[in-house]
Amino acid sequence: MSTAAASLAEAGTLRAVLNYVAPTTDRLRTYAYDPPGGEPRSNIVPDPREVPIRDVRPIAEEATLDGHGFGVVRHHSSVPGYENEAEIREAVYPEATRLLQEVTGADRVHVFDHTLRRRVPGQEDRCGGLRQPVTRVHVDQTGRSGPQRVRDLLPAEADALLRGRVQIINVWRPIRGPVLDAPLAVADARSVPFSDLIPSDLIYPDRIGETYSVRYNPAHRWFYMPAMRPDEVLLLKCFDSATDGRARFAPHTAFIDPTAPADAPPRESIEVRALVFHDP
């Protein structure tokens, strides 16, 4: 092992490949369903780059949503296994609401959906009804689509709510642990210039959403939680209407950990998404 590699290992850092987006002049787009007319599901061309990814635990207490774009909290859920959809909505949604109110001091939290992911090696995301870990660097919302989510989900109140500060935050945790297969990496938002975020269409049968793909920049600082447990939660900021210097968008991606054992069980996780409102 080289001196540099030994230093990385001592610092709790590994090197792994993350899939950025290759430069293009085309408008990027991905279909969330089988596209019409034999079109490819996506025109995004990956730009794989090997980068250092640091263990987040040494900075967990100082990492904040407004400073870094992500936070780490310990939280026990009352729902084991997440097998029952009704139970998720009846128990997990209120848990996420209380957690986000406590962490952010929000006046109101509206949990609007969740996604269960169970990795099947070799299977594409959204095929066969199973959601797979997303192995592409991205942000779930953009400066345009964030406010639109408020208008879509709470149309009668949208104008009033958008006069205050609005965030969209994901509450991400393993279903079973420790996670050794396809862990989640998140970038320190302070290390990602806005110019590295590329608006990309996400096309549904009834609407077109917008996400950010991300171009490579060696200045990006990446973190992950080795052997993450179900009582460890990552909070990911996907949008913030505040433009006063606080973190607004936290790029993230699943990745293949080169140090994981060959027989590591496939990753299973849940992410709960919420609109977080602060009165004007």
Q: 245: how many CB neighbours lie within 10 A of its CB?
A: 9
| Under 8 Å between Cβ of 253 and 184 | yes
Give every strand in the sheet of 28-31, ordered side by side: 13-21, 46-55, 222-224, 184-187, 252-254, 138-139, 208-214, 197-203, 28-31
| Distance, C-alpha 9 to centroid of its chain | 25
Predicted confidence (pLDDT) at residue 8 exceeds the cutoff of 50: no
For residues 169 and 236, is the Cβ–Cβ distance under 8 A?
yes
Q: Could you tell me the pLDDT band of residue 170, with boundaries at 50, 70 and 90?
A: very high
Note down the domain range covering 7.
3-278
User: In angstroms, what CA-CA distances link 8 with 3, 55, 102, 135, 245?
Assistant: 9, 10, 35, 23, 31
Percent of the chain predicted with pLDDT > 90: 81
- Please provide the average confidence, as pLDDT, over all residues in the chain: 91
Taking the alpha carbons at both ends of the chain, their separation in whole angstroms is: 55
Among 69, 71, 76, 75, smallest CA distance to 57 is for 71
For the ranges 77-81, 184-188, 190-194, 200-204, the lowest mean pLDDT is seen at 77-81
Q: For residue 9, what pLDDT is reported?
A: 40
Asked whether residue 20 carries a pLDDT value surpassing 60, the answer given is: yes
Q: Reply yes or no on whether the pLDDT at 262 is more than 60.
A: yes
The pLDDT of residue 6 is 37
Q: Answer whether 204's CB lies under 8 Å from 32's CB.
A: yes
Q: How many residues does the chain have?
A: 280
Question: Total structural domains in the chain?
Answer: 1
Question: What's the confidence (pLDDT) of residue 39?
Answer: 86
Q: Is the pLDDT of residue 79 over 90?
A: no
Task: Tell me the pLDDT band of 198, cut-offs 50, 70 and 90.
Answer: very high
Give residue 84's pLDDT: 87
Alpha carbon distance 258, 170 (integer Å): 26
Q: What's the rounded mean pLDDT across residues 46-74?
A: 96
Band of the pLDDT at 42, cuts 50, 70, 90?
A: very high
- pLDDT over 70 at 94, yes or no: yes
DSSP 3-state percent helix, strand, coil across the chain (nearest 5): 20, 35, 45
**CB 190 within 8 Å of CB 266:** no
Is the pLDDT assigned to residue 123 strictly greater than 90?
Answer: no
> What's this model's pTM, rounded to 2 decimal places?
0.91
